[in-house]
Structure 1
Amino acid sequence: MKKVVVIEALKLALEGKLYEARAAADSARQDAIHEQSAAETQYDSLSIESGYLAEGQSERVEQAISAINAFNETYSLNTAEHVVEGALVQVSDEETTASNWYYIGPAEGGLKIEIGSIHVMILTLASPLGQAIAGKSLGDEVEFNFNNRIQYLCIENIL
């Protein structure tokens, strides 16, 4: 796994989210000001609802821009010695021998990208799993309580 490929894929995914948010905001704004949205009676609230939707979609655009800026400030191509923000981490589950890749990011936790047959998920240090593996080193074992079930994880790789 090459970290530079993951970072480029993450940038594309974040830019895609921004594009979608802008398109939704533009559409909501057009709906809010369209002549058919004008209230015909005192009980007609279509234009008000459209305005609220446009405002919410504009907030999504701002959040997407903030996430992109946060990633641009924190990503690093250097290999990390510990699990820190900007690290690409491979974690294995000792019971199922499953292995998962996580990019430790500043925002957008849960966003998934696929590189070939490998799935990488953004994990923030504020998440429960992020808190459990924060600061760990290569080969460290982690005890993680997931749905009242203890899982034993191992840090397999840190890039």
Structure 2
Amino acid sequence: MDKFLLQQQVLERLAEDLQQAEQAARAAHEVATHEENIAENKYDTLGLEAAYLATGQARRAEAIRQAMAHWRQFRPSPYDASKGIQLGALVCLVDADDKQQHLFLGPDGGSMKLLSGAQIVQVISREAPLGRALLGKCEGDEVLLPLAPHRQQFEVLRVD
């Protein structure tokens, strides 16, 4: 799997998300400021609700812009076994049922599933519970993820 291609896929997906958020913000703003939505009494809140929605969508768009900036600056480095898993690692985990899971540890804001060839790759940040549990681990190490009502256990099969 090519880390650069995965990074490009993340940026493309974030660009699509940004476009949707900006369109939603514009639409909500138009509803909020339309003359038919001027409040006639204290119970007429359509314009106010649309204004809140427009503000939320604008904040979402800004968060996506920041995530895109982080992903553009991101330079995944090769795996160094002396440091263990770090930001930029491609990790293959296996669980007790021999089910494999492929992960790409990246900057914040990129939590998504991508396709690399025939493999599904889950992009996670180091702030995610699994991302935190992986930091510093090496091939062959066990990773425990305590989740209610039980805990999940994985083995690090491969790291690139």
With the length of structure 2 as denominator, give the TM-score of the two structures. 0.86
Q: For 1:57-111, what per-residue CA distance to the aligned partner results, in whole angstroms no more than 9, with x for missing partners?
A: 10001110011112222332x3222211122222111x11111111112213642
**1:41 equivalent in alignment to 2:46:** no
Given that 1:91 and 1:99 are in contact with CA atoms closer than 8 Å, whether structure 2 keeps it comes out as yes
Check the 8 A contact 2:114/2:120 in 1, yes or no.
yes
Q: Is the 8 A contact 1:89 1:157 kept in 2?
A: yes
Q: Residue type of the partner of 1:101?
A: H
Does residue 97 in structure 1 map to residue 103 in structure 2?
no
For residues 68-147 of structure 1, what are the structure 2 equivalents within 5 Å?
68-76=68-76, 78-81=77-80, 82-93=84-95, 95-108=96-109, 110-147=111-148
Deviates more, 1:33-42 or 1:97-106: 33-42
Q: Distance in 2 between matches of 1:24 and 1:56?
A: 10
| Structure 1 residue identity aligned to 2:67 | A
Aligned residues: 157
Structure 1 residue ranges without an equivalent (≥5): none
Give 2:114's aligned amino acid: I
Distance 1:136 1:15, change over 3 A: same
Q: Percent identity?
A: 30
Distance in 2 (CA, whole Å) between partners of 1:8 and 1:28 is: 30
CA distance in 1, matches of 2:12, 2:158: 24
Q: Match of 2:56, SS?
A: helix
Change (3 A) 1:146 1:45: closer
Write the distance in 2 (CA, Å) between the matches of 1:142 and 1:44. 54
Counterpart code for 1:22: E
Asked if structure 2 preserves the Cα contact closer than 8 Å seen for 1:79 and 1:158, the reply is no
Q: Structure 2, unaligned stretches of length 5 or more?
A: none
Structure-1 separation of matches of 2:4 and 2:145: 29
Task: Give the 3-state SS of the residue equivalent to 2:130 in structure 1.
Answer: helix
- Aligned partner of 2:49: which letter? E
TM-score by structure 1 length? Answer: 0.87
**Map of 1:24 onto structure 2:** 24
- Shift of the alpha carbon at 1:41? 2.8
